[in-house]
Amino acid sequence: KGIITKLDYIKDLGANTIYLTPIFLSKSNHKYDTIDYKEIDPQFGNNEDLKELVTNAHKKGVRIVLDAVFNHCSNKMMQFQDVVKKGKESEYYNWFYIHGDTVTTEPCNYECFGACDYMPKLNTSNEEVRKFLIDIACYYIKEFDIDGWRLDVSDEISHDFWRLFRKEIKKIKEDCVIIGENWHDAYPFLMGDQFDSIMNYSFTKACLDYFAFEKLHTQNFVYKLNEILMRNKQAVNEMMLNLLDSHDTHRFFTEIKKDKDKLMAAIAIATCYLGAPCIYYGTEICMEGGYDPDSRRTFDWEETNWDSTVISTIRKVLSLKKEPSLQEGEIKLEAIGEVFSLERYLENESITLLYNAGCCDEVLDSLNQISEKECKIVVENGFQNDVLRKGGFIILKKTIS
């Protein structure tokens, strides 16, 4: 019930959706090897706990998205175990890709996820498998009223399956969000008949190259962000999940060598960019971590250990996502020397973010809107007396009367 007890914290941070990695019965730490899709792993709770979480979250205006691991399962799943025992005589033999009449592990003679023989790949071309998996997806919407599915390694499953999946999901709950895990250009999946959006790892890489690895100057960063937007239609861009890190990466704060200015600026860009910002738990309290499982450290709830300035600034930034211009506005990206500029504008309102990535402080007196009456600085880190210090950013709101 840990998440249930912390819903107010999550809501106050500025989040209106919680995406959970797999919650189904599994023997691993990561839980991507599902044994039983309709049983909640007892490490997390039970069916009643999930119902309570969704109900309480909805009362607070927070939605719940679950993780659909439909490319593969656990080798302990009943259907695969039946094939292990019976071989080709098993009714589930064609649920998997097995090269031979019986299952062998040394050498492994069946398709699996990566080189993990404990996660056999499911044959989603099989009609029975399709029905089985889609039934699971529909079950959690009908029984628990969840609000969406994140699709694990979604680009390794056929377009035909996802088209059928979308039809059945949207038939039950029209606004149920479908987010694919595609690490590269996913245009064929984003044409309106499969996913609503994807985890925007192209945005992640651009931010790492800019903030962490310093492979990009500001102008090149602008080029990269524009290139990402050009891949898809406006409706898709507005639903992209913009993340800096996840359970599948190193922690962003570790990658940027614990630079808090860069962390706050990157979250500000993720928030103001087209799409939905996704904060990996603990990023707001500067959690560190290497690759999985180090990226899954426990959350430190001792508030005296938190940097109050960082978490306060992040809360202010995330609260701006309610602004119409950051939800539906057009976008303009520009490099002013090494000052990164992002403007969102809608009708008579605009939001402008300025980040100084240069090696020295910048005097911004050339930006006349700062001194105009209708312009207001809504969030800042490192801006004072018309000077934006190195590594600082400001967000301005302007209303044209």
Q: pLDDT per residue over 172-211, tens digit each?
A: 999 999 999 999 889 999 999 999 999 999 999 999 999 9
Asked if the model's pLDDT at residue 368 lies above 50, the reply is: no
* Distances, alpha carbon 139 to alpha carbons 51, 83, 114, 132, 172, in Å: 13, 26, 28, 11, 10
How much is the pLDDT for 400? Answer: 75
Regarding whether 192 and 103 lie in a shared domain, the answer is no
Asked if the model's pLDDT at residue 369 lies above 70, the reply is: no
Mean pLDDT of the chain: 95
How much is the pLDDT for 330? Answer: 96
Asked if the model's pLDDT at residue 104 lies above 80, the reply is: yes
Percent of the chain past pLDDT 90, that is, above it, reads: 94
Regarding whether 173 and 296 lie in a shared domain, the answer is yes
How much is the pLDDT for 399? Answer: 86
Q: What is the pLDDT of residues 12-46, one digit of tens each?
A: 999 999 999 999 999 999 999 999 999 999 999 99
Please pick, among 33, 67, 147, 152, the residue that the annotation labels catalytic.
152
Q: What is the pLDDT of residues 140-152, one digit of tens each?
A: 999 999 999 999 9
Angle between helices 127-144 and 159-172 (to 10 degrees): 30
Of 94, 122, 150, which residue sits at a domain end?
122
Regarding whether 286 and 374 lie in a shared domain, the answer is no
How much is the pLDDT for 366? Answer: 57
Asked if the model's pLDDT at residue 2 lies above 60, the reply is: yes
How much is the pLDDT for 192? Answer: 95
Q: Is 96 helix (H, G, I), strand (E, B) or coil?
A: strand
337: left (phi over 0), alpha (psi -120 to 50) or beta: left
Please report which helix (H) or strand (E) contains residue 137, including its range. Answer: helix 127-144
- The reply to whether 330 belongs to the active site is no
Rounded-to-integer distance, Cα 323 and Cα 319, Å:
8
- Cα 18 to its chain centre, rounded Å, is 10
Cβ partners under 8 Å of residue 285, min gap 6:
299, 300, 305, 306, 307, 310, 311
Regarding whether 224 and 346 lie in a shared domain, the answer is no
Regarding whether 289 and 342 lie in a shared domain, the answer is no
CB atoms within 10 A of CB 295: 21
Regarding whether 242 and 176 lie in a shared domain, the answer is yes
Domain count within the chain: 3
Q: What is the CATH number of the domain that holds 113?
A: 3.90.400.10
Q: What is the pLDDT of residues 42-90, one digit of tens each?
A: 999 999 999 999 999 999 999 999 999 999 999 999 999 999 999 999 9
Give 374's pLDDT tier (boundaries 50, 70, 90): low
Asked if the model's pLDDT at residue 4 lies above 60, the reply is: yes
How much is the pLDDT for 244? Answer: 98
- The reply to whether 238 belongs to the active site is no
Q: What is the CATH number of the domain that holds 377?
A: 2.60.40.1180
Regarding whether 334 and 239 lie in a shared domain, the answer is no
Give 156's pLDDT tier (boundaries 50, 70, 90): very high
Total-model pTM: 0.95
Q: Dihedral (C-alpha) 78, 84, 85, 87: value to the nearest 10 degrees?
A: 120
Regarding whether 46 and 112 lie in a shared domain, the answer is no
Give 370's pLDDT tier (boundaries 50, 70, 90): low
Asked if the model's pLDDT at residue 401 lies above 90, the reply is: no
Regarding whether 237 and 90 lie in a shared domain, the answer is no
How much is the pLDDT for 305? Answer: 97
Please pick, among 147, 155, 181, 362, the residue that the annotation labels catalytic.
181
Rounded-to-integer distance, Cα 62 and Cα 64, Å:
7
Verify cis geometry, omega within 30 degrees of 0, for the bond prior to 22.
Answer: no
Mean pLDDT in residue range 341-364 = 94
Cβ partners under 8 Å of residue 178, min gap 6:
148, 149, 151, 165, 166, 169, 194, 195, 196, 197
Regarding whether 371 and 247 lie in a shared domain, the answer is no
Of 291, 326, 361, which residue sits at a domain end?
326
Regarding whether 156 and 61 lie in a shared domain, the answer is yes
CA angle 300, 306, 307 (to 5 degrees): 155
Range of the domain at 316: 2-74+123-326
Q: Are 198 and 241 in contact (CB under 8 A)?
A: yes
Regarding whether 354 and 278 lie in a shared domain, the answer is no
Q: Is 252 helix (H, G, I), strand (E, B) or coil?
A: helix
Q: What is the CATH number of the domain that holds 233?
A: 3.20.20.80
Of 294, 326, 358, which residue sits at a domain end?
326
